[in-house]
Amino acid sequence: MPKESFLLDQFSALPPREVGLAVLGYPIKHSISPQLHNAALKVLAEKEPEFNNWKYHKIEVHPENLSDALPKLAELGFRGLNLTIPHKVEVLPMLSSMDEQARAMGAVNTLNWEEGGWKGYNTDGIGLSRSVREVFDRSVKEFQVLVLGAGGAARAAVAQCLFEGCENLAIFNRSMERAYQLSSALKENGFEQKISLVKSLSHFPHNAEQPVLVINATSLGLVMDDPAPIDLSCLKGEVFVYDMVYNPPDTRLLMQAKEKRFPHANGLGMLVGQAARSLEIWSEREVSIHAMSCAALQAMSD
């Protein structure tokens, strides 16, 4: 089967006036991004009818096909893309440029077609920060932060915490080599704060006087049968749990948190926040977060 068949079977060239937007991932079935963006585009179109021609899709792209997909999508008329697991780091060599924050994070989740190439941005960190403050009424720098994972989502989470001045930050990942690579990459990008690499939760540098924020940045939870990435019983003191996974809304990790009566939230608020910022980049307009939030809740209840 030709590598491009995954794409050509789904899309032909878009109509001349249509602006294509999409989220790319593998898997992608769980994504509700189209509902969010199309709801916000409908609000934009009420004042500026040309936004009726903007359409947002979701496309499953296997990692080995990503380098073929990006130029093909541009040829077909796509001008804005979101990236989800597993493309946020692997895409970097395929970009013509990146903004400064994305470069510091070492991962991108938003692409904008500019001057004949894809420019990368990262809106995940902003979405995470805003959501944590909204649901827990605290900024990330008020916590001891334990990030689970060392991929693209973890890069954005760790970098955002460092941007905001978090002084007690640890990474827990099954592969210590990947965790070390992430820590080293962020230090090379100018972050000077100490990052602890945790081999087991018994080694987590816990300060009893400061609450712990656990951020799940792994893909564990996307499938209902997935195990929790950690056992929350290993953590002491005041614990808050934020799972970047939003669909399904109740992962094993969040079920644990609920049983232990730990404040907890899934990644739906982060999804809305990062999506709004992405659409702002593409449209250069103020975007209705309310419309996106309503669409997200509706999609999750369907």
Q: Which residues are catalytic?
A: 88
Say if residue 135 is exposed, middle or buried (CB neighbours under 10 Å; 0-12, 13-18, 19+).
middle
Residues facing 212 on adjacent strands:
144, 239
Return d(Cα 187, Cα 208) in angstroms, integer: 27
CB atoms within 10 A of CB 162: 25
Question: Are residues 274 and 126 in contact, defined by beta-carbon separation less than 8 angstroms?
Answer: yes
Residue 177 exposed, middle or buried by CB count within 10 Å (0-12, 13-18, 19+): exposed
Contact 160, 106 (CB under 8 A): no
Residues with Cβ within 8 Å of residue 50, at least 6 apart in sequence: none
